Homo-oligomer: A and B are copies of this chain.
Amino acid sequence: MPVGKDTRQRTMDSFMIKVSILGATGYTGSELLRFLLFHEQVEVVKVTSRTDIGIPVGQVHRNLYKLTNLTFTEENIEEIVELSDVVFLALPHGQALEKVPQIFQAAKQKDIKVLDLGGDFRLKDPQVFEKYYKLKHTAPEFLKKSVYGLTEFNREKIRKSNLIACPGCFPTGALLALLPLARENLLTGDIIINSATGSSGSGATPSEGTHHPERAYDYKAYNLFSHRHQPEIQQELERFNRNPIEVTLTTHSAPMVRGIFTTVYTRLSKEISEDQLRDLYRGYYEKEPFIRLVDQPRAAVVAGSNFCDISIASQGRKVIINSAIDNLVKGGSGQAVQNMNLMFGLDEKSGLGFPGTHP
């Protein structure tokens, strides 16, 4: 018998949110389960897989062994819609373009909610999507309806939406670092975003770049000027910042498993003291449960948790902002659950109120 929620006083089953996850064999799915199986208002009803149909979840995600009796099933949209209040999509890029219309069509009158953790509904301009993802956007009407799920800056829309495009991992760290400035129209010109990521961002499929002998002691840059997350960051900053800006995102492979560390460089549109900057950030973040203003963000300190740690330093108009997140949690599955909490009127921290596992 699995351990887990049985130690706690549970809400009555009739109030439990029924959750399904499409594509739950990867790391995103694994992390969703790490949170949702222990979320007191959630019951996970279906987890699908293309490769592991019929296999118990605990045989694939070994850390969950003896903690759940769930088994991977095939993807039956009709059944999933019938059984679920909310569906998480943890699919390769491009697949949600198909699944999202199918789900809402199958739902008919039923009020179902969808959270997509892939990139299909993040870029509002289908042409930009096609340029960066090399795919035609086949569901533009849903693109219009979808809401960008950066929780801290989009709460009201997320609450009312039934289709959330959860942000990419790099954009989460970069936007949380930059949006207080963008909201005050303090950005202008070049916005240099230098990020380093752990290997779990590459997913569960082995490849040369994540082969241990190649990666363990290595550090390198990749996708210069062409990373898909660059236009996503630009888009979200421009929603608020009126001055023209130009985002440059450079991503790096670093030899840890979890974490994205971001260093942002820019010159503000007007001079403002370091103290004032910190006040500005405190105004935005002091009451945020998952944002911490610190002296020195560290990837290892947030690892395993839904926190984003942020620091600000400046010299004249030059500003450097650092942020650290766990790419799979705040930069992925944790933020998705945070959004689900909002959508169902729950406390935003439900199922996410644990610290990082440090050291």
Contacts and interface: CB of A to CB of B under 8 A. Distances in A.
Tally of this chain's copies: 4
Interface in A122-170: none
Contacts of A294: 62, 65
Interface residues of A, number: 96
Contacts of A208: 206
A315 B225 contact: yes
Nearest to A67: B355
A297 interface: yes
Contact of A298 (B9, B198, B218, B352): B218
Contacts of A302: 63
Interface in A162-193: 190, 192
A289 interface: yes
A73 B215 CA distance: 28
Contacts of A287: 1
Given A4-B353, A216-B216, A358-B61, A222 B296 contact: yes
A119 to B, nearest CB: 20
Contact of A190 (B267, B299, B355): B267
Interface stretch (A14-22, A48-56, A107-115, A252-260): A252-260
A329 to B, nearest CB: 9
A214 interface: yes
Given A210-B211, A252-B263, A294-B62, A299 B219 contact: yes
A265 interface: yes
Interface string A46-82: 0000000000000001111111000000000000000
Interface in A248-281: 248, 250, 252, 254-259, 261, 263, 265, 267
Interface stretch (A90-98, A237-245, A317-325): A317-325
A83 interface: no
Interface string A211-243: 111111111111011000000000000000000
B221 A212 contact: no
B38 A354 contact: yes
Nearest to A225: B315
A273 to B, nearest CB: 14
Interface string A8-47: 1100000000000000000100100010011010000000
Given A1-B287, A204-B211, A205-B211, 11 more contacts: A8-B40, A62-B298, A66-B289, A192-B265, A217-B257, A217-B299, A217-B359, A220-B298, A221-B296, A221-B320, A225-B313
Contacts of A37: 355
Nearest to A221: B322
A63 B213 contact: no
A257 B217 CA distance: 7
Given A8-B40, A261-B252, A357-B304, A212 B196 contact: no
A11 to B, nearest CB: 8
A256 B359 contact: no
A60 to B, nearest CB: 11
Contacts of A220: 261, 296-299, 322, 324
